[in-house]
Amino acid sequence: MPTVSNLHLFCECIVRKHETPGRATEEQKAEEFRRVFLKNFQLNLNTLCAVASTCGIELDGLDGDKMPENLRGYHEIYGNRRYIYFRKDDSLSGTMNTILHEIREMMEKYFVEMCPTYEPLRTSARHIAANRFASAVLLPQKEFTSDVYETGLDIFELAKLYSKSCSQVLLRMGEVLQGKLFLYSALYGHNPETDDWMLNYWTMSHNYEDPDANICGANEFFPRKGKTVMQGSLVDMAIRGKKSYMAERVTLIDETDDEGLVALASPMIIAGVPIKVALVVLTGSDRNLLLPQIERTNPTIIKGFHRHL
């Protein structure tokens, strides 16, 4: 008689609560996952290994040459046997993220079996959902949102606090602040091979309660992934000066338009060398949210920028 894993029972619970998996957000699935499997246990790799075992999943770390190219992990299901493979040399944070990512992808198979009317997520959508699920488990919404404000939206402090990658923290910040306020934030990295600085990750959130508190129609103003650092930009100043720089007022239309934006660029310095730069942009009316980071980094103040960051 085939055995039923706890993961299968967990998926049944999601279906009973929401009628169909499509009605449950990844945030809700993650919250339920923490309630069922993590309870009051500290979230670390040992705990996740125990959860995987409870779910009937065997974990195996592989050497880099045995892992498919460009993959951090993958899973296999043979009847009642389930396996998750991850890179043996990956970071602790990366391994935990991979385990949760693959668990969420496994859940999709059960959702399809339980709900004949459920339309399964396609490959790219399934990958995005698994990333969101993993981040929501590792960075729980309520606690993480509180820490976002406590640190003054400081990507590097949050990454240190949660022992997570800067990119994951950046993207999660955009998720938990969505609907609450206007935010644009980006993470730049240095490519030693080309000696270029490039935008690797970015996020944006909007204020749903006060639409007037958003910057609309200015998407081309905010840099996107792959954009190189412009000379004379706030990020360029942070790289060259090896310290934080803040533009007190960034205007888009003319020098008299409202309060404009406030922007803060902070570098991560290792052995005296900038490795990454985080850029945070808010409306001028929300400047006070940056105060904890301003007090910690003591940025050089630039009076204003016009039509550029």
Interval 210-220: pLDDT, tens: 887 777 766 67
Q: What is the pLDDT of residue 2?
A: 44
The pLDDT-based confidence of 257 (bands split at 50, 70, 90) is low
Question: Taking residues 221-249, what's their average pLDDT?
Answer: 94
- How confident is the prediction for the chain on average, in pLDDT? 91
- Asked if pLDDT for residue 251 goes beyond 50, the answer is yes
Question: Taking residues 81-103, what's their average pLDDT?
Answer: 93
Q: How far apart are CA 14 and CA 32, in angstroms?
A: 8
Q: How many CB atoms lie within 10 A of CB 244?
A: 22
The pLDDT-based confidence of 174 (bands split at 50, 70, 90) is very high
Question: Taking residues 109-135, what's their average pLDDT?
Answer: 91
Question: Taking residues 169-197, what's their average pLDDT?
Answer: 94
Domain-wise residue ranges, the chain: 6-138, 141-306
- Asked if pLDDT for residue 43 goes beyond 50, the answer is yes
Fold adopted by 141-306: Beta-Lactamase (3.30.450)
Q: How far apart are CA 228 and CA 217, in angstroms?
A: 22
Q: What is the CATH number of domain 6-138?
A: 1.10.10
CA 279 to chain centre: 15
Q: SS3 of 275, please?
A: strand
Q: What is the model's pTM?
A: 0.89
Q: How far apart are CA 66 and CA 215, in angstroms?
A: 47
Phi, psi of 144, deg, nearest 5? -65, -40
Q: 298: buried, middle or exposed (CB in 10 Å: 19+, 13-18, 0-12)?
A: exposed
